[in-house]
Structures are given as structure tokens and as C-alpha cells.
Structure 1
Amino acid sequence: MKYTMQLPLPAILIRVKILRSLNMKQVSFMSEKNNFAHFIIRDFKSDDYEQINLLWKETGLGGSQRSDNLQVINSTLANGGKLIILEYSEQNIIIGTAWLTTDTRRIYLHHFCIKPEFQNKGLSHLLCNESIKFAKEKKMQIKLEVHKDNLIATGLYKKHGFTYLGDYDVYIIRDLAIIDKVEL
């Protein structure tokens, strides 16, 4: 007589396989809601710019007021930063980014996004883990800004060890022409 044991499947199964020759990670993702699909975490390449620019606009992170062009990206990469890409390999589309820049004291995490139709599937954890890994490799703190009403993002960051710094406001001058109008 044969005995078999059936174990319950988790709601989400994530497998990571390191592809040494490509220096990338192939991630297989499966959930009860989705069919099997493949995702790749890799570094940014210049020909990714058009796709990520569209993704950033789609997720509210893009726009001319931000001045995030290819030249700026390449400059931050040359200065020790990293732009992590999450690609859906079955369609060769970029579905997520995490842009890490540095001021040599700490890493700043920004432009962290997942394409809307891929959200709420656990993929943001892959980008977050990869971002934290980069900060560890650089032996630097990692800091980010998030809208206080973005409860999903704040929950994600807290799960990964980020802590709230306190109640303070962030100010920025985006339009440099304003500087000429400021009276001292």
C-alpha cells in the first residue's frame, strides 16, 4: 500500500534562480490568482529609458518637472548609484523600478514602483530586498520618502525594517527660476 501526503500550497510561491553567466536573477512567480510567469531583476541599460519613463508617468513618478532624464540617470550611476529593473520576461516589458542614488553618506531610494496591473502580487518585496542588498554591499544607510497617505508603501517599507524618522515636512525647489525671484 502506498501512502502519500499532500501539503497545502502557499498563496504565493517565489523562487529565485541566480543566472551566473548573465549576472541576473530569474524569478518565477505563481499565485492562486495568476498563471505561472517569469520576472527578471537586473540593472538598468540605456535602451530601457523610454520604457521606464512611460512607467514612471503611469505610476505618478514621471514628468518634466522632475528632470529625470537619461543623462541624470547615467550621472547617478557613474557616481555609485543603481537603477534596478524588474522585467516581465514573457513579454519583455519593464514592470518595476527602484532607483538608488548616493551622497556618499547614505543611499536614497526613489522611483520605487510597480506597473499597476502587477501590483498587490508580492513583487515589490523583490525590488525592496534588492535595494536593501545594494545598501548593505555599499555599507551605507538607506533612506526614502513616501507620501504619508500611501499606506501600502509604508506597510511594505516597515516590513523590510524601515522606521519612521518623525513628523517633519520635506521642501524642494523644482523650478530653479524661482531662485532668482527670492529676495533675501
Structure 2
Amino acid sequence: MSSIKPRSYKSDDYQHILKLWEITNLGGEERGDNAETIEVSLLHGGKFWILEDSKTRKLIGSCWVTNDSRRLYLHHLGIHPEYQHQGYGKLLTETALAHAKSLNMQIKLEVHHSNKTALNIYKEQGFNILEGYEVMIKRRH
């Protein structure tokens, strides 16, 4: 894992991020995830980490944390399929949790119930299911 470490997002990462999100089914412009949204979230206290293999320069993971000044939200944590099950998802989760701890803020996320690997990582890291809640969204006005 030594050639793969989290680093901060740079604007020229965006096209590579879109490809990763497409491969991992995490998001994209149709969901409102665009370069401007990322930049605005960073200006408002968000963080965005990239995992890049420094030997191959291949972008292999992402983790985006937004801040609403009340709590943090963990988004788009995903690892390229060729690099999954090697501890990188846990590494990014721990990076986000360390950030939340440094701010003394709670952190919330959504994960699909069929994503057992992610669920296990999050449970190991102390996340709890919010019983009685349903996730709802309205994308179009």
C-alpha cells in the first residue's frame, strides 16, 4: 500500500473522478455531482481525497466529505474494482473519520443495503444504522 496514499483533490482530477464514479456507480453529473459542486463544497469546509497509485499515476479511489456546519456527510467513497478488498476503502474511511474527529463533528453517510463490503467497513468503524429513517431525495424541481 505504500505507493497508494490519500491526497487532496485538485481540479484537474475531475475527469478522472467522473470515470471512477462511472465504474463504481457512485455518481456523476446527472446527480448534480459536477466540478463546480465539488469546488463550492471545498470552499464551505468540505474535503475531497483521492487515492492515486504513485507508481502508475492511476486514480483508484475517492472520498468526498461535505460540511453543513452542523455535521459532515461522507459521499462517493469508492475504490476501483481492480483495487477492491485490499484495505483502501478502510483507509479512506479512516481518513474521513480522522477529519471529523479533528473538527469534533459527527459524520453521516448513506450506503446501499446490498453493499455488504462497505457496510462491514462502516460498522467496524463505529457507524450505526439510523433506525426508523427512510432516505428520500427530490432531484428535479
TM-score when normalising by structure 1: 0.74
Give the corresponding residue for 2:123. Answer: 158
- Structure (1 or 2) with the larger CA radius of gyration: 1
Of Structure 1 and Structure 2, which has the larger fraction of its residues in strand? 1
Give the corresponding residue for 2:6. Answer: 41
Report the alpha carbon displacement of residue 138 of structure 1 after superposing the two structures with TM: 1.4
CA distance in 2: counterparts of 1:55 and 1:61, whole angstroms: 8
Give the corresponding residue for 2:53. Answer: 88
Deviations 1:116-171 (A, max 9, x none): 11001111111011000110111100100111121111100011111111142111
Q: What is the correspondence of 1:135-150 to structure 2 with a 5 Å cutoff?
A: 135-150=100-115
8 Å Cα contact 1:84/1:98 also seen in 2: yes
Q: Give the total of aligned pairs.
A: 141
Of Structure 1 and Structure 2, which has the larger fraction of its residues in helix? 2
SS class of match (2:64): strand
8 Å Cα contact 2:28/2:34 also seen in 1: no
Residue identity opposite 1:65 in structure 2: E
SS class of match (2:7): strand
What RMSD, in angstroms, separates the aligned Cα atoms of the two structures?
1.0
Structure 1 residue runs of 4 or more that deviate by more than 2 Å after TM superposition: 62-65
Q: Which runs of 5+ in 1 are unaligned?
A: 1-26, 29-37, 177-184
Q: Which runs of 5+ in 2 are unaligned?
A: none
Percent identical: 46
TM-score when normalising by structure 2: 0.96
